[in-house]
Amino acid sequence: MKPLLSFNNLSFGYSPESPCVLKQLNLSLEQGSVTALLGPNGAGKTTLLHIALGWLQPQSGCVKMGGRPLREYPRNELGRQIGLVPQSESVPFEYTVLEYVLLGRAPYLPPLSMPGIQDMEEAQNALMRVGLRGFEQRSMLELSGGERQLVLIARSLAQRPRLLLLDEPTSHLDLANKSRLLELLRELQKQGITLLLTTHDPELAALLSTHVILIGDGRVVEAGTVEQVLTAAYLSQLYGIEIKMTEVHGQKVIVWR
């Protein structure tokens, strides 16, 4: 089976004079997998997501979606394939929550067309799934950081992508909404949606992921299943501190000092 997304001998730097942020990466994501990308600040995790979206072009190597080079996809077709939940996003206008979620339907609309009944239903359903039904007419500028993060997730759900990229998806969420998000992501995986998420939280990776990629200094340190890669030895090597791992009620707990 062809991987859904693959990075082939990929290198990237923000300018020809600057050092490479990513160096000869070879990675692949299978359809329906949940892959956590862990690494220290500056390791290149967010950059890799932006390359996967086609926002950044590699200096060498290529990215393929379904065996087809990413650069061959028209922009609207790529928008129906891949969604992104960023860590944060500035809101330049006073959108309502419903208007903002409807932006996720843009790849399905002809130029200058208004959202139709189906688009409205998709947006309403996405808001219900993230627990924000009733927020439709609230201003985005009035929301808390956690509420705004849930709206970003709803926008991506309205997009109905095959591949969902999430950049630190729980960073602004309280425990209740973090639990809601985990259940939602598990539900998406059951529906066959492939997930790639960056995180600084190995425990989140253990709870949710099928695969883990450890990245440091722009290179893949280790990659494989959760059982193979999410170990105290590999994490200690990656972060340069002593890390121990134990289990509480069958759940991995990370202890560091």
- Kindly report, residue by residue over 162-173, the tens digit of the pLDDT: 999 999 988 888
How many other β-carbons are positioned within 10 Å of the β-carbon of residue 35?
Answer: 22
Q: Give the CATH number of the domain where residue 59 resides.
A: 3.40.50.300
Average pLDDT, the chain: 90
Residues 21 and 217: beta-carbon distance below 8 Å: no
Domain span at 218: 5-256
How many distinct structural domains can be found in the chain? Answer: 1
Q: What is the DSSP letter of 116?
A: -
At 16-70, the pLDDT tens digits run: 778 889 999 999 999 999 999 999 988 899 999 999 999 999 999 999 999 999 9
Q: With beta carbons less than 8 A apart as the criterion, state whether 45 and 52 touch.
A: no
CA–CA separation, 46 vs 109, rounded Å? 28
pTM for this prediction:
0.91
Question: At which residue do the structure tokens 């695969």 appear?
Answer: 211
Specify whether the CB–CB gap between 158 and 101 falls below 8 A. yes
Q: How confident is the model at residue 221 (pLDDT cuts 50, 70, 90)?
A: very high
The residues, any chain, with a CB within 8 Å of residue 230's CB and separated by 6 or more, are 202, 205, 206, 212, 245, 252
Reported as a pLDDT band with limits 50, 70 and 90, residue 253 is: confident
